[in-house]
Amino acid sequence: MSIKVGIFFGGPSREREISFAGGRTVYDNLDKELFEAIPIFVDSFRRWYLLDWHYLYRGTVRDFFPPIDLAPKSAHGFQVYQESLGPLDELSLEAMGRRVGRRIRRHELPELIDVAFLALHGEYGEDGQLQKELEYAGIPYTGSGVRASEIGMDKALQKELMANLGFAAPAIRVITKGDFDGSRVTEHFAVCEREIGWPMVVRPARQGSSIGVSILAQSDGLEAFERSVNAAFFREVLPVSEYEARDAYERLEYVRQLSDLRDGIAFPLDARRGDHELTLYTPDELFDYLEAAVAAPGQDPLIVFTGHQSEERVIVESFIDGKEFSCIVVRTPEGQAVALPPTEIVKPSNELFDYRSKYMPGRSRKVTPIELPTDRIQAIRAECERLFTELGFQVYARIDGFHTPGGGIYLNDPNTTSGMMPSSFFFHQAAEIGLNPSQFLTFIIRTSLRERGMQWGGPGAMEVADELGHQLDAALDAQRAAVTTKERIAVLLGGTSFERHISVESGRNVYEKLSSSEGYRPVPVFLTAAPGRPADWQLYQLPINLLLKDNADDIRDKVAKPTEHSVVADIRLACASITARFADPDVVFQPRPLTWQELPALADGVFIALHGRPGEDGQVQAKLEPLGLYYNGSGIASSRITIDKYATLHTLADAGLLVTQQWLATAAEFAAGPEAFFDAVEARFGYPLIAKPVDDGCSSAVKLIKSRPELLAYCHLTFQPAGMDTARCRQQMKLAAKDEWPIGKDTILFEKAITAAGADKFLEITGGMLTHRGVDGNRRYEVFEPSETLAGGEVLSLEEKFLAGEGQNLTPARLATDDYSYDYVAGQVRADLERAARAVGIEGYCRIDAFVRVFADGRVETIPIEINSLPGMTPATAIFHQAALAGYQPAEFIDRILQYGKSRRDTAPAAPTPPAAAPQPAPVPAAVTVSAATTPQATEVVFTDAAPEETSPAPALSAPYQPPRPAYDAPPDRSPLPRREGLLNSTIALFKSSYFWKNAGAALVFLLLCFLVLRVGLNWYTSHGKSTELPNFVGMMRTDAEDLGDKMGLKIEFEKGPFDPNRPAGEVVLQHPKAGSGVKKNRSIFLTILNDEAPLIRLPSLVGNYDYTNYSDRIAAIGHIKSRIREQVYDPKQEENSILYLYDGERKVTDADLRAGYEVKQGSTLDFVVTVRQTGEVEVPDIRCQQFGVVEFQLDASNLLVGTIHGDVANRAEAYVVRTEPAGGKMVPVGSKFDIYLSDALPDGCE
């Protein structure tokens, strides 16, 4: 039996998003052969919820909690946390919880889980509070105990204890809340300047290591000191004039920054202006408050904002100049504390290692082990091990610190819970001893069980932990002994493109999902290029320690010069028992060069996790197909189209889809005259416009250009002309120091910015899909519910698309309007996305980014902007949210992708083999395609602020797409040229001849007769040209529309539209021409009616969805499926309203059927059989004086549950029942618990 692991994540702290992402990582990576993962979400008010699993794959907590329909509406697209709903009563909180799972309480835990895995950060996670509650419930948990957690959370207490224990410490001053007002600010500044010196660091005492931290230089002065201390107290003083000076965009950005949970104050917050104070709960309230403040200039010039999530103490300490490091310390099975290789965090001087640097691939550089002499590395390890022991930490801890140039070691931030993102130190350093994330989590759980048994000391608690430990040991032994045949998958990652770091994150995520599955054995393979030769690809099989490096460039450097540090060798020796017990038997530690021809011996198939070129352009696919290896995604021909954004939109336009206007401009055109070039761009598009590379990643240098200076900066950064000011251009484009730019391109793709164009609703979406091969061999598309993408800035950034906690994706998108249902609009959008996928030949899966317009008359326009044939597969990407809503867990989704690739290979026709004796023709040179470009017209242009909006529904393209041309020239025509004199004489003779004039006259008479016949015929056919006003058919049923059309002499043509379960089939929803148009008799009128064929909806499985209320809400959301309870069955062992099975008509459907993929028609009604725990009252049986062994089996039929059995007896079966609580004979609700007290001796009064 699997051990049930309850994963606690979320919580009230400012680090809840990284906790949410870490909880998802643990959920995905727990070994499915050993554990059953139970996701337990902790809300902002410390309530626990058994979360429906599909919510784990949303991008942020705000994407599902509070539920979108319960969250306050925002005029500016802000999302909020639960605190923004204001004070709520218990009933409201219970109702909110039922939308995402079900509320659970402490006494229920022993029935739900065996052990708790703590992935919480900060308050209620690292401060010992949750640990206390779990101890009360008798549940073993991971990590350190209560006292060590309290120390690890409070940095002020840490500093004091560490100084007393002889650890080096910087100068420090603690400022308390309420002691930093008025003259006290100046006094604190003077003391800090005198006793601490410059530079100095300001940080909150009880926050994460990257929350609320500032570094101050001497030049910053008193004003910056006051601002930084206020920020650490989560307080801000705003001059109203400063806000007033901002433009509209900058005002919204200020509100967004102040609302941010990590970098701002967050909600609720108190706003005080003079004597007036007000509590604000949402960003919209804050924005309105500030706008009103600007409109009332006569009042106090300052506004003070104070967050309700504030701090009691702030630490000011001296800045330590040295190498920053982080070190994981673990407890070995032998009980020794061993520090893993400390990792150096490489960053510019005085720069903070902030949230994005920690968790966004490519944003920072981490070196393991730290680049120091061996003796200094060992000294760091010794100090970390000593601190781990002295502070009483258990299982593991993450200890941060600095090593100074003089050899000083300062440990400044011990953490009892580490970040658990795939690229975090937690997994990064464990890989150095050969453990992948799944194996390291198993080690953490086993060590925690051992520690809890020793820590608690009580016989009952020790028994629980020890029993679970022995159970896990037996399961590990059985797993090692079992012989399994798994499909070998090479996960290909890295590459040379702008998005190579995202590729590593995608590949790592796919590797981890497959490694914890039961059917696959993944092998990581890194693709890079030789220096200076981007087309010279090189392949390497990666060991796990290189796979978990922070970014692609780190991996590239390591495979180029593989080495093993002597410190790492020592650590592996110290951790040999861990590696032997938990790692793969054939674990490797060095990269191995590979050739393409060696891949079939290593793998049965390949998962291509590359982005951009190579990978999405068909080149890798062309390497794999001759080797007989199946792969994910589209084939060669389709990939060659979708990598090119210009060719993609032309292909979609040819298929009748609406696309935006484009111009593929070349570097040569820019070099010919920059000013004329800029004039041409402005004449075509006006401002704003979109600029992007034609063949790079979906967020690579995609910018909204609003002015000529921005246009100039974009072109200069891309084309790199001589004499350009790179720094100024980067500043103009608002690029951070770490932001890369794809230089060396010879084209820029300009596009007309897509706008609402009068639509009632206008939004950006991203839609994923999966393809299946039917029994007839035909390809079927399963288009997921699209997600609405909300950009924090002007264009979605890499962080918003791929970094956990950054992006805002609402799934499903808010497509409904006041007049048209979600199903109506989404049905048309999904149909358009499928048309786009079919047009370019998508296979396997893809993601399509598009804009959607919904008009008042019911028209729905979907405007694709690009198609990603190998979309990002990072844990936070939207395609996993959409797949989860369709019932696919990530591992299952990846499995379906691979299975399609395998079926494509297996069903592909074999290439005919030519006869051996047949002579071979000489090879013909292959055609080389060249990019088509449109040259700006050499006409005078007039600068405009904005280009006119395109109103025609036809695709607006700047020039017809030119097919590829051969690179070689056609053979020249060598026939003799005609003589000019002969041609002139022949022409004169022709015009003089009577033959020419007779034929010209006859042709003229014939054309005149044709015109007269045609005009008479048309007048007769259209009732002599009389027009009538066309009525409004929308809303009519098909038969009524046909009758009206017959009466008016019109031809009615019907076409089927989407299915809407809330409206009758056959209802007219669109017409062409529009109502009120003038038409003549016999005119064809085209009407779109609602389809009578309901699409099939795949029902989600019951795993994590057993609650009837949650499940019925979910299937109603994904397919308007109605639910009703057919029968209630008493079952005291399960929660109230747990689903046992369901009926589709008269067919019984079990969870096994749902897991296999069961589909019902949209709008169906399903009947459920659910459990009930209390159906009345029952009498507690009177069992006093009886032996427990005699009555034990009778109790199963009592409709009650046996609670705790008390009494230290020699043999429980022969012991006597002394009493029960409640007492025998008392009436209690069905399903209640009662405790039993036993004794070896017969109680008094018993015979």
Q: What is the mean pLDDT of residues 646-654?
A: 96
Residue 1109 phi, psi (nearest 5): -60, -45
pLDDT, position 801: 43
Q: Could you tell me the fold of the domain covering 1177-1239?
A: Trypsin Inhibitor V; Chain A (3.30.10)
What residue spans in the chain does CATH classification 3.30.1490 cover?
662-752
pLDDT over threshold 50, residue 955: no
- Range list of H helices, 317-394: 355-359, 374-390
What's the angle, vertex CA 712, arms to CA 707 and CA 717, rounded to 5?
130
SS3 259: helix
The string of pLDDT tens digits covering residues 591-642 is 999 999 999 999 999 999 999 889 999 999 999 999 999 999 999 999 999 9
Most confident of 226-235, 1019-1028, 1097-1106: 226-235
Q: Which CATH class is domain 482-633?
A: alpha beta
pLDDT over threshold 60, residue 804: no
What residue spans in the chain does CATH classification 3.30.10.20 cover?
1024-1089, 1177-1239
pLDDT over threshold 90, residue 201: yes
The string of pLDDT tens digits covering residues 1103-1148 is 767 888 878 888 887 888 999 888 877 776 667 788 889 999 888 8
Q: What is the mean pLDDT of residues 1207-1215?
A: 82
pLDDT, position 756: 92
What residue spans in the chain does CATH classification 3.40.50.20 cover?
3-153, 482-633
How far apart are the C-alpha atoms of 168 and 980, rounded to whole Å?
Answer: 100
The answer for residues whose C-beta is within 8 angstroms of residue 63's C-beta and 6 or more apart is: 79, 808, 809, 810, 811, 881
How far apart are the C-alpha atoms of 372 and 346, rounded to whole Å?
Answer: 13
Given CATH 3.30.470.20, say whether it is the number of domain 649-658+757-906: yes
pLDDT, position 1127: 83
Q: Which CATH architecture has domain 3-153?
A: 3-Layer(aba) Sandwich (3.40)
How far apart are the C-alpha atoms of 965 and 911, rounded to whole Å?
Answer: 27
Instruction: Extract the tokens encoding 166.
Output: 């002889």
DSSP 723: T
The string of pLDDT tens digits covering residues 15-38 is 999 999 999 999 999 998 899 999
Q: What is the mean pLDDT of residues 456-479?
A: 78
pLDDT bin (cut points 50, 70, 90) of residue 1093 is: confident
Q: Which CATH class is domain 1024-1089?
A: alpha beta
State percent of the chain over pLDDT 70.
Answer: 86
pLDDT, position 915: 39
The string of pLDDT tens digits covering residues 146-156 is 988 888 788 88
Given CATH 3.30.10, say whether it is the number of domain 1096-1172: yes
DSSP 1018: H
The string of pLDDT tens digits covering residues 330-348 is 999 999 999 999 999 886 5
pLDDT over threshold 50, residue 737: yes
> Which one has a higher pLDDT value, 816 or 776?
816
SS3 293: helix
pLDDT bin (cut points 50, 70, 90) of residue 287 is: very high
> Which one has a higher pLDDT value, 322 or 363?
322
How far apart are the C-alpha atoms of 525 and 193, rounded to whole Å?
Answer: 53
374-392 CB burial, b ≥16 within 10 A, e <16: eebbbebbebbbbbbeebe
pLDDT, position 873: 93
pLDDT, the chain, mean: 84
pLDDT over threshold 50, residue 355: no
pLDDT, position 360: 45
How far apart are the C-alpha atoms of 518 and 516, rounded to whole Å?
Answer: 7
pLDDT, position 554: 87
The string of pLDDT tens digits covering residues 393-422 is 999 999 999 999 999 999 988 888 888 887
The string of pLDDT tens digits covering residues 980-1027 is 445 456 556 666 666 667 777 778 888 888 877 776 666 655 554 567
pLDDT over threshold 50, residue 973: no
Q: Could you tell me the fold of the domain covering 662-752?
A: Dna Ligase; domain 1 (3.30.1490)
Q: What is the mean pLDDT of residues 567-584?
A: 94
Q: Which helix (H) or strand (E) covers residue 566, if one does?
A: helix 566-574
39-70 CB burial, b ≥16 within 10 A, e <16: bbbbbbeebbbbbbbbbbbbbbbbbbbbebee
How far apart are the C-alpha atoms of 1045 and 1032, rounded to whole Å?
Answer: 11
Least Cα distance to 243 among 229, 234, 233, 253 occurs for 253
pLDDT over threshold 50, residue 768: yes
pLDDT, position 577: 95
pLDDT, position 941: 33
pLDDT over threshold 50, residue 78: yes
pLDDT, position 890: 92
Torsion of CA 1143, 1146, 1149, 1154, to 10 degrees: -90
> Which one has a higher pLDDT value, 555 or 925?
555
What residue spans in the chain does CATH classification 3.30.470.20 cover?
649-658+757-906
pLDDT bin (cut points 50, 70, 90) of residue 672 is: very high
35-42 and 3-10: which strand pairing? parallel
pLDDT bin (cut points 50, 70, 90) of residue 910 is: low
Q: How far is CA 920 from CA 923, 927, 1099, in A?
A: 8, 20, 56
pLDDT over threshold 60, residue 674: yes
pLDDT, position 1204: 78
pLDDT bin (cut points 50, 70, 90) of residue 927 is: very low
The DSSP line for 399-460 is EEEEE-TTS-EEEEEEESS---STTSHHHHHHGGGT--HHHHHHHHHHHHHHHHHHHH-SHH
pLDDT bin (cut points 50, 70, 90) of residue 1208 is: confident
Side-chain-side CA neighbours of residue 1039 (13 Å): 2
Q: What is the mean pLDDT of residues 730-755?
A: 87
> Which one has a higher pLDDT value, 361 or 903?
903
How far apart are the C-alpha atoms of 508 and 144, rounded to whole Å?
Answer: 29
